[in-house]
Structure 1
Amino acid sequence: MSTMTIHEVRLAPRPVMPRVAVRRPAVRPSAVRLTRRGRAVVLLLGLVVALVVGVVLGAGSVATEHPGTPEPTRIVMVGSGETLWDIAADAASATGSDDVRAMVRRIERMNALDTGMVLAGQRIKIPTQ
């Protein structure tokens, strides 16, 4: 025959800790409380001030009181089959320069051309110096 023994295990009771009141710093209510609309007004007011400051600082004129001397130019009518490179090469050789690319850029800047494409019959300004 077998015997079985049962041992009773008792756990010690957990000690009860006294509750300590936690002191939180007193929060003072702010003198100004902004609502959602108030925050929007403050944001818009800040943007308007930044815009006004930008306009005032950016409005300074870069022009002078005395006019400069214009660059001497002549008007050329583009012929049929003629390219801007051909016109710039003629203008560069007339001014004594060998740099045709620089002359092409100069002509494009002078005539506000976006590309180097010119059309037959188009009148363009060419520098003479």
Structure 2
Amino acid sequence: MSTLSLAHVPYAAPRRSTVRLTRRGRVVVFVVTLLAVMAVGFVGASISGASQEKGVGVSTRTVVVGTGDTLWDLASDAADGGDIRSMEQTIKDLNGLDSGMLIAGQTLRIPN
């Protein structure tokens, strides 16, 4: 049987910070942090794209996507000889679509 000997390692107590905040100091730090957060919120709100003007409503109809239907087909029907790509983008915007992929049975709003 062997014995294991460990060298004695002296314990070093953790050093305490020399900075100590009083109750008033903690309140000041809290208030300054709160004001900074509020300032960031106000700046973010002023940058937002919202406006006081009402948007122009688009007259729409509801279409259920059938098997084999594509967004291009639906846009070309709705465009009535106009710009199909622009109509395709309008349909995407109205329905919150990220891509042109459609699923059979999906309900879409199409401009009249």
Question: Common fold, TM-score beyond 0.5?
Answer: yes
SS in 2 for 1:106: helix
Counterpart AA for 1:50:
A
Q: TM-score, normalised by structure 1?
A: 0.55
Determine the structure 2 residue equivalent to 1:82: 69
Q: CA deviation at 1:71?
A: 0.8
1:68–1:106 Cα change, 3 Å: closer
Q: How many residues align?
A: 90
Counterpart AA for 2:39:
V
SS in 2 for 1:36: coil
Take 2:73 and 2:44, find their aligned partners in 1: how far apart are those partners? 42
Determine the structure 2 residue equivalent to 1:71: 58
Q: What residue ranges of structure 1 are gaps of 5+ in the alignment?
A: 1-34
1:117–1:111 Cα change, 3 Å: same
Determine the structure 2 residue equivalent to 1:54: 40
Counterpart AA for 1:77:
V
Determine the structure 2 residue equivalent to 1:124: 108
- Runs of 4+ aligned residues of structure 1 deviating over 6 Å after TM superposition are none
Take 1:77 and 1:37, find their aligned partners in 2: how far apart are those partners? 67
CA RMSD in angstroms comes to 3.0
Q: CA deviation at 1:79?
A: 1.0
Take 2:62 and 2:69, find their aligned partners in 1: how far apart are those partners? 15
Determine the structure 1 residue equivalent to 2:19: 36
What do the CA deviations read for 1:89-117 (whole angstroms, capped 9, x no partner)?
Answer: 1112x2x31x2222111111110012111
Take 1:37 and 1:103, find their aligned partners in 2: how far apart are those partners? 65
Counterpart AA for 1:53:
A
Counterpart AA for 1:126:
I
From the CA coordinates, give the structure whose radius of gyration is larger.
Answer: 1
Q: What residue ranges of structure 2 are gaps of 5+ in the alignment?
A: 1-17
SS in 2 for 1:48: helix
Structure with greater helix share of residues:
2
Counterpart AA for 1:118:
L
